[in-house]
Amino acid sequence: MSTSAAAAEVVITGSDQVIVIGVAVVALIALVIAFVLRAGVLAAGTGTPKMQEISAAVQEGAAAYLARQFRTLGIFVVIVFVLLFALPATTTGERIGRSIAFLFGAAFSASIGYFGMWLATRANVRVAAAANGDGGREKAMQIGFRTGGAVGLATTGLGLLGASIVVLVYVGDAPKVLEGFGFGAAMLAMFMRVGGGIFTKAADVGADLVGKVEQGIPEDDPRNAATIADNVGDNVGDCAGMAADLFESYAVTLVASLILGSAAFGTKGLVFPLIIPTIGVITAIIGIYITKAKPGEPGLVTINRSFYISAAISAGLSAVASFVYLPTNFADLGIDSVRDVSGNPALMAIISVLIGIVLAAVILWLTGYFTGTETKPTKDVAKASLTGAATVVLGGISVGFESAVYTALVIAGAVYGAFLLSTTLIVALFMIALAGCGLLTTVGVIVAMDTFGPVSDNAQGVAEMSGEVSEEGAKILTELDAVGNTTKAITKGIAIATAVLAATALFGSYSDAITGALISAGDAAGLAAGSLSSFVTSVVSPGTLVGMLLGACVVFLFSGLAINAVSRAAGAVVYEVRRQFREIPGIMEGTNKPEYGKVVDIVTRDSLRELATPGLLAVFAPIAVGFGLGVGPLAGYLAGTIATGTLMAVFLANSGGAWDNAKKIVEDGTHGGKGSPAHEATVIGDTVGDPFKDTAGPAINPLLKVMNLVALLIAPAIVALSVGDSASAGIRYGISALAVVIIVTAVVVSKRRESSLHADQPQATA
């Protein structure tokens, strides 16, 4: 059954309308509480004047970067807004609504990213001040987590508000309009993730290589010209980038759920996917407010306890909502296409939601095991430092490979478990989407966990650069930073799982979109049946295998471009920091300040320049495959990206997390401590892992959803041109050729590009 066919049966009136309005009200409440938490964070003490000065410099650099990034991305947004009008739509209103929704999705994603950056850059000094005596460990941790809580509630609030308004206004056409909303959110998140990731890791790698390895000074030593850029990067990459990433995961999962839900369950399927995340908002509020560190309790235990409590409450309330709102047999849904389907819709729905919630909990444990400072895998990587940097790198790669297999198996089990709940394809796909909705109930707390990481990292940097932190305060901040490393790794794992569930659901929506396009293309009785048979046959054709290989290739190429971009930009930072140590007298003696602003300018310019090629690849690769090879190979392409992207993202994130925390273990005094050969080895491992875990790995999440949404949007156009005459075929191949030219040109330009300083500065050593 196609979405377009189902849309005519969807009418929201009476109690259903009241529920959707209630969802919008809860979304507004979430936004209000987000600003209450924001006010609480800003009310905390700001420490010494020196701390405030350093924090202000980070705020200024982060705001300047995002302003320049938004101006750059505005060009892409305008171009895509115009192109969306050219794509087929059932009605003019749907076409206009889809394009306007795209703008709102992009604007919401950008707003969440900016809000996350803005608050985090003001929370860092407050966490540092609290750890330094203005409240102690418990207060410092509370400020950090509530900063993330404010961003988390803003994320869920805006996502729910956007979806509920579209459903109220467009009703049956809402799924098609929401494709634009999800695409806008995903595209902005991908660019922010790539650009922010390049910025943060170029500064971090450059700072570590010259500061720690060559000069033997601490990570956040004020004598290092890259320290301000490094701290700015934490915010534009981990806060702005990850907040936008999780927002688009939220939005895209809702889009997939509403598309499939309206086709499978009619009106109930359009409303129920809004109810479950609404429950998640309520439980996120509970989880954020109950997160209070107990004296002597490890910080990760405190945060994990809050996550598990909120997840358990979500499971209970979701079960109640399922049995209250959904009928116990398919005949009562009032949709002819599923009237004779066996099973209990309410029971199926709650099992699917529980699968998603359990998946989040399992990944939290699994990622924590492979990247935590107290667990065997990371301790083994740290121990490998006794024999040099090479064994550290090999150990981290091994951890990444192994953890990717287990995480992928868990995600695959969740997807297949939800799929097995029904023998009817559209219902089974909706169950996968509902598993994604179940995972969404944890997003508020997950964003809080993620933002806690860079805030605690920045707090340690502010304290160390100021030189005004007590020994006890420094110890507290080191502990919170290590906890933050693990929470960031955990949130990356859960973000990957969300991406896979959303992409798999969108993959099902893709075939549904083709069905609707075939019906619209000609005689519903003849053409649709024959074309559908041909489509099913094409799934096992060599063309589909070629599509799968191309999809896998794009994931590898995208990752390579992102890591290479960090390498080039970091090289520029290395040259500049070396130059300042060499040419500015008194830096090492502390009698003269480095030129921090020059490094910030370098990584800003390079990161904005470098983000274009990966972004163009993500948008134009599915266009090239779809228009050039057809709908079957494009389906294979999407399958290849999902499978390869899952493994690659987990491998990159967890190997990088293991290297980072292995360094923390050594810095805490194990295997010789700071300044030892073991420490130098782990610094090199961490430097390799930086672009893995904070640039390429996280950027794969929005990449998967951008490509699936592009395929979903262009599917009707591909079908229309495929069943046309020779002129239509010429247009189709022309579009594909143009997309290939754009990709090849972008990649060639990227490969030939030199770092901004390499062209005019000799490659001298320190």
Tell me how far apart the alpha carbons of residues 659 and 671 are, in angstroms, rounded to a whole number: 15
pLDDT tens figures, 139-160: 888 888 899 899 889 988 888 8
CA atoms within 13 A on the CB side of 422: 27
More confident residue, 231 or 685: 685
CA distance 396 to 660: 10
The one-character DSSP state at 293 is: P
Three-class HEC string of 132-200 = CCCCHHHHHHHHHHHHHHHHHHHHHHHHHHHHHHHHHHHHHHHHHHHHHHHHHHHHHHHHHHHHHHHHH
Name which of 445, 418, 765 is nearest 574 in CA terms.
Answer: 765
**Average pLDDT over every residue of 289-298:** 80
Could you tell me if 625 and 637 are in contact, meaning their C-beta atoms sit under 8 angstroms apart?
yes
CB 738 within 8 A of CB 222: no
DSSP 743: H
Residues 6+ apart with CB under 8 A from 430: 257, 260, 261, 263, 264, 265, 269
Q: Is a pLDDT exceeding 70 seen at residue 436?
A: yes
Stretch 96-102: mean pLDDT: 85
Q: In degrees rounded to 5, what are phi and psi of residue 217? A: -110, 160
Q: What is the pLDDT of residue 397?
A: 92
- Could you give the number of structural domains in the chain? 1
Phi and psi, residue 135, nearest 5°: 130, -25
Say if CB 146 and CB 37 are below 8 A apart: yes
- Cα–Cα nearest to 129, from 468, 448, 482: 468
Helix (H, G, I), strand (E, B) or coil at 278: helix
Read off the pLDDT band of 89 (50, 70, 90): low
Residue 392, pLDDT > 60, answer yes
CA distances from 467 to 50, 229, 231, 477 (A): 9, 18, 16, 13
| Range from 25-39, 135-149, 260-274, 513-527 carrying the lowest mean pLDDT | 513-527
User: For residue 535, is it within any domain?
Assistant: no
Q: Which segments of 320-453 are extended strands (E)?
A: none
Integer CA distances (angstroms), 54 to 454, 596, 668, in order: 16, 11, 25
Per-residue pLDDT at 520: 61
Question: What is the Cα–Cα distance from 595 to 592, expressed in whole angstroms?
Answer: 10
The rounded percent of the chain whose pLDDT value lies above 70 is 91
Nearest-angstrom CA–CA distance, 656 and 540: 37
With cut-offs at 50, 70 and 90, classify the pLDDT of residue 30.
Answer: very high
Query: Which pLDDT belongs to residue 192?
Result: 83
Q: What do you get for the CA distance between the two ends of the chain, in Å?
A: 67
C-alpha 159/C-alpha 349 separation (Å) is 21
* Cα(148)–Cα(153) distance, integer angstroms: 9
Radius of gyration of the chain from its Cα atoms, rounded to whole angstroms: 25
Which range is least confidently modeled, 589-598, 642-651, 755-764? 755-764
Residue for token pair 């950027």: 699
Distance CA 225, CA 572 (A): 12
Query: Which of these, 415, 310, 445, lies nearest to 355 by C-alpha position?
Result: 415
Say what the pLDDT of residue 622 is.
93
Among 396, 392, 439, residue whose Cα is nearest residue 414: 439
Please report, as a single letter, which amino acid is at residue 712. L
| More confident site: 356 or 330 | 356
User: Residue 290 pLDDT > 70, yes or no?
Assistant: yes
Q: What is the pLDDT of residue 7?
A: 42
Residue keyed to tokens 């507004």: 28
Q: Which two tokens stand for residue 131?
A: 């750890």
Please, are residues 572 and 199 in contact by the beta-carbon 8 Å criterion?
Answer: no
Residue 569's identity, in one-letter code, is: A
- Considering only CA atoms, which of 184, 228, 205 is closest in space to residue 74? 184
User: What is the spatial distance between Cα 45 and Cα 39, in angstroms, rounded to a whole number?
Assistant: 12
3-state secondary structure of 222: coil
pLDDT at 664 over 70: yes
Q: Which residue has the higher pLDDT, 220 or 247?
A: 247
Six token digits for residue 233: 């990067």
Residue 108 lies in a domain: yes
pLDDT digit string, tens, across residues 487-533: 877 887 887 888 788 788 777 767 666 666 666 655 433 444 444 44
Question: What is the reported pLDDT for 572?
Answer: 84
Question: Which residue bears the tokens 């969300």?
Answer: 498
**501: containing domain:** 14-291+301-505+542-752
Residue where the block lists tokens 């798999």: 504
Q: How far apart are CA 176 and CA 77, in angstroms?
A: 19
pLDDT given at position 668: 80
- What is each CA distance from 284 to 263, 356, 456, 499, 631, in whole angstroms? 30, 16, 21, 20, 40
Taking alpha carbons only, the member of 496, 612, 628 closest to residue 187 is 612
φ/ψ (deg, to 5) at 70? -65, -35
Question: Percentage of the chain surpassing pLDDT 90?
Answer: 17
Query: What pLDDT sits at residue 517?
Result: 65
pLDDT band for position 398 (cuts 50, 70, 90): very high
- Which phi-psi region, left, alpha or beta, contains residue 343 (left: φ > 0; alpha: ψ -120 to 50)? left
Using DSSP, state whether 10 is helix, strand or coil: coil
The pLDDT value recorded for residue 499 is: 79
- Say if CB 686 and CB 659 are below 8 A apart: yes
Spell out the residues 6+ positions from residue 556 whose beta carbon is closer than 8 angstroms to its own.
644, 648
Q: What is the residue-averaged pLDDT of the chain?
A: 82
For residue 133, give every residue at least 6 positions away whose Cβ sits within 8 Å of its Cβ, in sequence order, or none.
470, 473
pLDDT of residue 525: 36
pLDDT for 725: 64
Q: Say what the pLDDT of residue 530 is.
A: 47
pLDDT of residue 512: 65
Mean local confidence (pLDDT), 587-610: 82
Which one is predicted more confidently, 419 or 519?
419
Q: Is residue 202 part of a domain?
A: yes
Q: Please say if the pLDDT value at position 406 is more than 70.
A: yes
Give the distance from CA 445 to its chain's centroid. 15
For 537-573, what is each residue's pLDDT tens digit? 455 567 778 888 999 999 999 888 888 888 888 888 8
| Domain assignment of residue 447, yes or no | yes
Are the C-beta atoms of residues 183 and 102 closer than 8 Å to each other?
A: yes
Specify the pLDDT at position 758: 46
Least confident stretch, 303-307, 551-555, 607-611, 740-744 = 607-611
In this predicted structure, the answer to whether residue 578 has a pLDDT above a threshold of 60 is yes
Closest C-alpha among 620, 604, 601 to residue 66: 604
579 Cβ contact list (under 8 Å, min separation 6): 761
> What would the 3-class secondary structure string for 308-322 be?
HHHHHHHHHHHHHHH
- Close Cβ partners of 72 (under 8 Å, ≥ 6 residues apart): 608, 611
- Residue-level pLDDT at 434: 92
From CA 303, how far away is CA 300, in angstroms rounded?
5
Is the CA virtual torsion 113, 118, 119, 121 positive or negative?
A: positive
Which pLDDT does position 410 carry in this prediction? 92
What's CA 215's distance to the chain center, in Å? 35
Residue 529 located in a structural domain: no
Q: Which amino acid is at 387?
A: T
CA dist., res. 257 & res. 440, Å (int)? 11
Per residue in 707-736, pLDDT (tens digit) is 888 888 888 888 878 776 667 788 889 999
Rounded to the nearest 5°, which phi and psi values hold at 469? -105, 140
- Residue 519's pLDDT is what? 62
Are the beta carbons of 399 and 390 closer than 8 angstroms? no
- Asked if residue 645 is part of any domain, the answer here is yes
Tokens of 244: 């936008």
Look at residue 52 and tell me whether its pLDDT is greater than 70: yes
**Which of 297-301, 425-429, 645-649 is least confident?**
297-301
CB contact at 8 A, 306 and 364: no
Place of tokens 């959904």: 326
- With respect to residue 765, please indicate whether it lies within any of the assigned structural domains: no
User: Does residue 582 form part of some domain?
Assistant: yes
8 A C-beta contact, residue 652 and residue 626: no
50-59, 394-403, 536-545, 690-699: which has the minimum mean pLDDT? 536-545
